[in-house]
């Protein structure tokens, strides 16, 4: 019997958080090893565990997988969260890609200067409410089902809920003009595996703080400034 997947990353969200979300949605228990020192990271490099010298890295089914999208694709397919046919898979990829674009604006937010954070905050809300949320609102309305693709829970639903909650951390009433997304959020949040992941004490990570930023900068020798979009 295969062991639990093991995740190698920082004790924070970053690019690993969507992997945590998808495993949790599938009801899969996983272990984590948090990178806290440069030495830990260099050991992974020396061991040949990081093919492209980057994290996230996930040990699963005898593989040491890197590249976030490849890891997510594998998990979605393995746990039947990737549609029933090629057409549904294409739609899931398309919706996940759009959600990724939105989440990308938020990913580097903790590493910005105070001045740039103010600009990026407004940028994130503007993009969410003028480009991404209207698109998903229309998809749900036109589709007429509870989920984004077909009539089954998929990776696309997990990813969109994660993005919605991230944007709500920037503006709590951001869904006020999107009734379809409000109902979608309530439905997906009530799925037992998702509900469990959203409860206190789960492996979901909190909003990145200064300690997380300092750890990432130290481990990756990240001494340059990140700029806003």
Are the beta carbons of 167 and 124 closer than 8 angstroms? yes
Are the beta carbons of 58 and 65 closer than 8 angstroms? yes
In a domain? residue 228: no
- Note whether 55 and 95 are same-domain residues: no
- Note whether 93 and 182 are same-domain residues: yes
Query: What is the domain extent for residue 215?
Result: 6-79+199-220
pLDDT at 145: 93
- Note whether 142 and 203 are same-domain residues: no
> Residue 181 maps to which CATH number?
1.20.1050.10
pTM over 0.85: yes
- Note whether 55 and 132 are same-domain residues: no
- Polymer length in residues for the chain: 229
Closest CA to 197 of 32, 23, 4, 11: 23
- Note whether 181 and 110 are same-domain residues: yes
Q: Is the pLDDT of residue 227 over 70?
A: no
In a domain? residue 227: no
Query: pLDDT tens for residues 6-36?
Result: 999 999 999 999 999 999 999 999 999 999 9
- Note whether 156 and 101 are same-domain residues: yes
Instruction: Supply the DSSP string of 59-105, one letter for each residue.
Output: EETTEEEESHHHHHHHHHHHTT-S-SSHHHHHHHHHHHHHHHHHHHH
> Residue 13 maps to which CATH number?
3.40.30.10
SS3 32: strand
Query: pLDDT tens for residues 62-90?
Result: 999 999 999 999 999 999 999 999 999 99
In a domain? residue 225: no
Query: pLDDT tens for residues 41-50?
Result: 999 999 999 9
pLDDT at 218: 93
* Total structural domains within the chain: 2
Using a 10 angstrom Cβ sphere, with 0-12 exposed, 13-18 middle and 19 or more buried, the burial of residue 159 is: buried
pLDDT at 226: 58
In a domain? residue 216: yes
- Note whether 97 and 176 are same-domain residues: yes
Report the pLDDT averaged over residues 176-200.
Answer: 98
């Amino acid at each position: 019997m295969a062991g639990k997947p093991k995740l190698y990353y920082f004790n924070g969200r970053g690019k690993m958080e969507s992997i945590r979300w998808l495993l949790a949605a599938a009801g899969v228990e996983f272990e984590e090893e948090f990178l806290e020192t440069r030495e830990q990271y260099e050991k992974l490099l020396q061991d040949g565990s990081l093919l492209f010298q980057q994290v996230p890295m996930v040990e699963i089914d005898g593989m040491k997988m890197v590249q976030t999208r490849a890891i997510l694709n594998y998990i979605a397919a393995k746990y039947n969260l990737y549609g029933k046919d090629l057409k549904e898979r294409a739609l899931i990829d398309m919706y996940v890609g759009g959600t990724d674009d939105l989440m990308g604006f938020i990913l580097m937010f903790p590493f910005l200067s105070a001045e740039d954070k103010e600009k990026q905050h407004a940028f994130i809300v503007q993009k969410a409410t003028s480009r991404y949320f209207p698109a998903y609102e229309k998809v749900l309305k036109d589709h007429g089902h509870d989920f984004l693709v077909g009539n089954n829970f998929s990776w696309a639903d997990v990813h969109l809920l994660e993005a919605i909650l991230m944007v709500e951390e920037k503006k709590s009433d951001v869904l006020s003009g999107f009734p379809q997304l409000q109902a979608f959020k309530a439905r997906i949040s009530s799925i037992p595996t998702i509900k469990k992941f959203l409860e206190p004490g789960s492996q979901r990570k909190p909003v990145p703080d200064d300690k997380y930023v300092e750890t990432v900068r130290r481990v990756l020798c990240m001494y340059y400034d990140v700029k806003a979009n």
